[in-house]
Chain A
Amino acid sequence: EVQLVQSGAEVKKPGESLKISCKGFGYSFTFYWIGWVRQMPGKGLEWMGIIYPGDSDTRYNPSFQGQVTISADKSISTAYLQWSSLKASDTAIYYCARTEFDRYTFDIWGQGTMVSVSS
């Protein structure tokens, strides 16, 4: 079965760092790009960026550039989203999703990772 499995919920304090993961199963990980989407509590979907695990080519939404880092390790079919210094406003559910290159159509989604940031 084709699926993306994300790491579990996180509770962090402001200023802490965090790296969440998204592991692909059931397909060739380097045939697709992985995107990240944020959903703040009770709000809509926001595209953060996308990475091609084959060569780590990455495109960011300018609204998130410099705020997060997207990376991937193709040897273990895993993509990552990381923060160096969390803020309370980073509290959200983060989804990874796969897409074919240049189609930007997310056909498989991870289950989401809830990140809570509070002092």
Chain B
Amino acid sequence: DIQMTQSPSSLSASVGDRVTITCQASQDINNFLNWYQQKPGKAPKLLIYDASNLETGVPSRFSGSGSGTDFTFTISSLQPEDIATYYCQQYDNLPLTFGGGTKVEIK
């Protein structure tokens, strides 16, 4: 199985801050990586697909980059409604695997 290592596991930032989350795959996954947002008590929501493509309707402050084994997810200006846990997910190989999640809080 491909292991996805996400860091940090949690972070606290101020409104307007730039927030960066990294995801490292245990082997080359090309750009077959998605990012999801899960707000408390809600289902996950797709934000970024194929490592860098913004899902329709998702605010442009969210972005993704990377390929191979190292990926980055960025919120350019943190908003109060961005409080959530963020997960990466690889789909280069079955079984699909998720990162452990990054919980984002407001300072």
- Measuring CB to CB, which residues of chain A are less than 8 angstroms from any residue of chain B? 35, 37, 44-47, 59, 61-63, 95, 97, 103-107, 109-112
Q: Is residue B63 contacting chain A, with contact meaning CB distance below 8 A?
A: no
List 5 tightest A-B contacts by C-beta distance, closest first.
A104-B91, A109-B43, A61-B95, A47-B96, A45-B98
A106 vs B95: C-alpha distance in the bound complex, in angstroms? 14
- Interface segment among B11-19, B20-28, B44-52, B71-79: the answer is B44-52
- Measuring CB to CB, which residues of chain B are less than 8 angstroms from any residue of chain A? 32, 34, 36, 38, 43-46, 49-50, 55, 87, 89, 91, 94-101
Asked whether A95 and B95 contact (CB < 8 A) given A105-B34, A105-B49, the answer is no
Q: Which residue of A lies closest to B100 (CB)?
A: A44
Q: Which residue of B lies closest to A37 (CB)?
A: B44
User: Within 8 Å CB of A46, what residues of B?
Assistant: 98
A95 vs B43: C-alpha distance in the bound complex, in angstroms? 7
**B45 to chain A: closest CB distance in Å?**
7
Asked whether A110 and B43 contact (CB < 8 A) given A45-B87, A61-B95, A105-B91, the answer is yes
User: Within 8 Å CB of A45, what residues of B?
Assistant: 36, 38, 44, 87, 89, 98, 101
Contact A47 B87 (CB under 8 A): no
**B4 to chain A: closest CB distance in Å?**
10
Contact A47 B95 (CB under 8 A): yes
Contact B96 A111 (CB under 8 A): no
Contact B43 A44 (CB under 8 A): no
User: Within 8 Å CB of A63, what residues of B?
Assistant: 95
Contact A103 B46 (CB under 8 A): no
User: Within 8 Å CB of A112, what residues of B?
Assistant: 43
Give the interface centre of B36, B49, B96 by most chain A CB atoms within 10 Å. B96
A47 vs B36: C-alpha distance in the bound complex, in angstroms? 14
Across the interface, B98 reaches (CB within 8 A) one of A44, A105, A111, namely A44
A75 vs B34: C-alpha distance in the bound complex, in angstroms? 31
Contact B87 A44 (CB under 8 A): yes
User: Within 8 Å CB of A35, what residues of B?
Assistant: 96
**A46 to chain B: closest CB distance in Å?**
7
